[in-house]
Amino acid sequence: MERLIVSPSPHIHSGDSVKKNMYGVIIALLPALAASLWFFGIGALIVTLTSILACVLFEHLIQRYLLKKPSSVMDGSAAVTGLLLAFNLPTNIPIGLILIGAAVAIGIGKMSFGGLGQNPFNPALVGRVFLLISFPVQMTSWPVPVVSRSSYLDATTGATPLSIIKEGLGTGKPFSELATEIPSYLDLFLGRMGGSAGEIAGIALLIGLIYMLIQKIITWHIPVTVVGSVVIFTGLLNLIDPTSYANPLFHLLTGGLLLGAFFMATDYASSPMSVNGMLLYGIGIGIITVLIRTYGAYPEGISFAILIMNAFTPLIDKYMKPKRFGEKVATQKA
Amino acid sequence: MQQKIGGQNVLKTFSLGGIHPSENKRSADRPVEILPVPPVVTIPIAQHIGAPATPIVQKGDAVKVGQVIAQSSGFVSANIHSPVSGKVEKIDDVVDASGYRRTAILIKTEGDEWEASIDRSPDIKKEITASAEEILQRISAAGIVGLGGATFPAHVKLSPPPGKTCDILIINGVECEPYLTSDHRLMLEKGEEMLIGVQLLMRALKVEKAIVGIENNKPDAIHHISQLCQAIPGVSVQPLKVQYPQGGEKQLIDACIGRQIPSGKLPIEVGAVVQNVGTAFAVYEAVQKNKPLIERIVTVTGLSVKKPGNYLARIGTPMADLIEAAGGLPEDTGKVIGGGPMMGKALTSIDIPLTKGSSGILIMPREIASRKPVENCIRCSKCVSVCPMGLSPYLLMTLAEKAIWDRAEEEKIMDCIECGSCSFTCPSSRPLLDYIRLGKGKVGQIMRSRTK
């Protein structure tokens, strides 16, 4: 008889894997990709493909030739970063800039810290913010949905709802008047607005979130606290002064809030490990987002808010421990 | 935490974490078969937690079934009785379930002659005449240990330390390990005797209340035991939601009565004592029938086992005999486990003898017997969310890997009950529990040296 295998317990495994989770995220992003292709057409296709291929290629090259280790691209995490980076870019951005963004995201954002699971910041956001600061003009020109389906670099551009409102409120126009200049809430929810490739369609992102929750890829804590704190904070502002503050529904459906809350803030590596930590982290992101949107220089703030809270994650992990068994001194003897 | 089922029944479970692996209870409807007495038995003298027993027979001695062959060597120790009649062949070091060579008494079987004091009649003896002290004394003399697998000598748990009082007995009929069904069968086939054992334990502990915790995947056992309980004051069944590791003492107490044992303390701290259903049955036999612990029910199972079943076998029977009874070792065997798949021990050979703590023999096919390659921690936090003790397994593994023992102690590494939920869940197949065990060993050593 062959020798028996001897190893310590447990002897069974759930069958969960890095691949399953990463490909699960990709599947969850497909509805948003479909919406992006529907509204932005050829530009969305070029940007998405370029970004994914570039991220996968850069990770492969760095892993094989710089670190001299087996390539890890098949685990799907580089493709997730590529997809998320693309979703955060306008669909008329030149290929050269996408390559720079992908190189920064994978090279600096991920591999320089040790690769999978080691990145302190969300790699796709590192790439995105690098481009936003370095190429502000190209990063804030937004193709108009539907009409620019068949054009890429020469797409007709327009403002995003969030920037229309931000500028309008800045000049003292009341929110109620500005609201007539932007698409209806239904259009916003369906994604008929200017914006980054994957951030537009709330409904598609919501389907993706539900998929991830059912598949137990993520838990509800971060998405719900981010969205919840934004709604509460903007709701309070709107209640106090409805003319100079936009209402919560508007904030929810614009500026990539849902993309950020569902897919970027929930990045495993850069978010906290305990439930309490996740709640604090989510609330922090929500509050910072509203502060930037309302009082900061940029119209949209979730990218920066996530990166800022990413920086707090180690601290949160150190002080926000999971609830321990037997801690609530439980000697309530009958 | 409670959950409603069908709007009426209320299922309880423990508060933190937990997992639900595939149950695979293939042998659940196989009645217990009595295994023939083997020609030779091997009786290790260390079958329980605590000091090994001291052999009191010598090579060539004739022994009867039920005769003490090794004596308890301290308070935390247990007597060992001969499970067969015959001649002591030798006392030698043999490999046991731990994988180490340990002292064992080998007996060559001749006939099946029992000690005259043992009541072998099939009648159920209901009336309880023994006093608390007598019950304790009988349990201790009969060498009864926790039969759920922990093998902690039963009389120790039944003797609360001074200043501590017990107000409730909890009987563990959870059998949360996948595959295993020995407790399930015992409850169905020996429920009445088991409940007499429960009453004996209640008297020994001087408590008025006992709860039998049974998971909801054994509705027949819940029904059967509930019906029997109706005639017994103070004893009730608590149906539980299926959730591993509910059979852990701390989790079971939390699930049944909502009391949480503080870090580093024993169940008695919250006024509870937990005993397994198998132990309760053994107590019945010891006190009412004067029969020591010489046999037990064991499940032999696995995905490719031909005839998975439950067997009543004498202690010391080679595992190989049990596997043979279940249709032989399958072609594709990769691993043989003593116990369940979550906390059982991989055996080095199938010639290892059955001991008091062996609740099952699980045979794993080769293709699922090996672990997958380890990947980077992706910080998905799944290990944290499944830990029933509220620990951070990812962190404990890193601390153990880097030998940062003081931090590991601060992070309550000693609270780990080694249920394996973290390793089971990890998408990166990281050996979390392996490292945590290593850390517990080291930190435990450091803590003990400090108190000296």
Residue-wise pLDDT tens digits, B269-280: 999 999 999 999
Q: Does B392 touch chain A (CB under 8 A)?
A: yes
Q: What is the mean pLDDT of chain A?
A: 92
ipTM attached to this prediction: 0.90
pTM above 0.80, yes or no: yes
Q: Does A116 touch chain B (CB under 8 A)?
A: yes
The residues spanned by each domain of chain B are 2-29+120-288, 32-118+292-368, 382-451
What confidence tens digit (pLDDT) does each residue in B21-30 have? Answer: 999 999 999 9
What confidence tens digit (pLDDT) does each residue in B113-152 have? Answer: 999 999 999 999 999 999 999 999 999 999 999 998 789 9
Q: Does A215 touch chain B (CB under 8 A)?
A: no
Partner-chain contact A326 B420, CB within 8 Å: no
Chain A nearest-CA distance from B255, in A, is 12
CATH class entry, domain B2-29+120-288: alpha beta
What confidence tens digit (pLDDT) does each residue in A121-142 have? Answer: 999 999 999 999 999 999 988 9
Mean pLDDT of B257-266: 93
What's the per-residue H, E or C state across chain A? CCCCCCCCCCCCCCCCCHHHHHHHHHHHHHHHHHHHHHHHCHHHHHHHHHHHHHHHHHHHHHHHHHCCCCCCHHHCHHHHHHHHHHHCCCCCCCHHHHHHHHHHHHHHHHHHHCCCCCCCCCHHHHHHHHHHHHCHHHHCCEECCCCCCCCCCCCCEECCHHHHHHHHHHCCCCHHHHHHHCCCHHHHHHCCCCCCCCCCCHHHHHHHHHHHHHCCCCCCHHHHHHHHHHHHHHHHHHHHCCCCCCCHHHHHHCCCHHHHHHHHCCCCCCCCCCHHHHHHHHHHHHHHHHHHHHHCCCCCCHHHHHHHHHHHHHHHHHHCCCCCCCCCCCCCCC
Chain A nearest-CA distance from B199, in A, is 21
pLDDT-derived band at A1, boundaries 50, 70, 90: low
Give me the pLDDT at residue B9, please: 56
pLDDT-derived band at A113, boundaries 50, 70, 90: very high
Q: Does A18 touch chain B (CB under 8 A)?
A: yes
Question: B-contacting residues of A 311-330, CB under 8 Å?
Answer: 317, 321-330
Chain B partners within 8 Å of A4 (Cβ): 333-336, 346-350
Chain A partners within 8 Å of B271 (Cβ): 331, 333-334
Chain B partners within 8 Å of A269 (Cβ): 378-379
Give me the pLDDT at residue B8, please: 42
Q: Does A273 touch chain B (CB under 8 A)?
A: yes
Q: Which of A8, A10, A274 sits opposite B341 (nearest CB)?
A: A10
What confidence tens digit (pLDDT) does each residue in A211-241 have? Answer: 999 999 999 999 999 999 999 999 999 999 9
- Give the fold, CATH level 3, of B32-118+292-368: Ubiquitin-like (UB roll) (3.10.20)
Question: B-contacting residues of A 237-256, CB under 8 Å?
Answer: none
Chain A nearest-CA distance from B304, in A, is 15
Over pLDDT 90: what percentage of chain A? 77
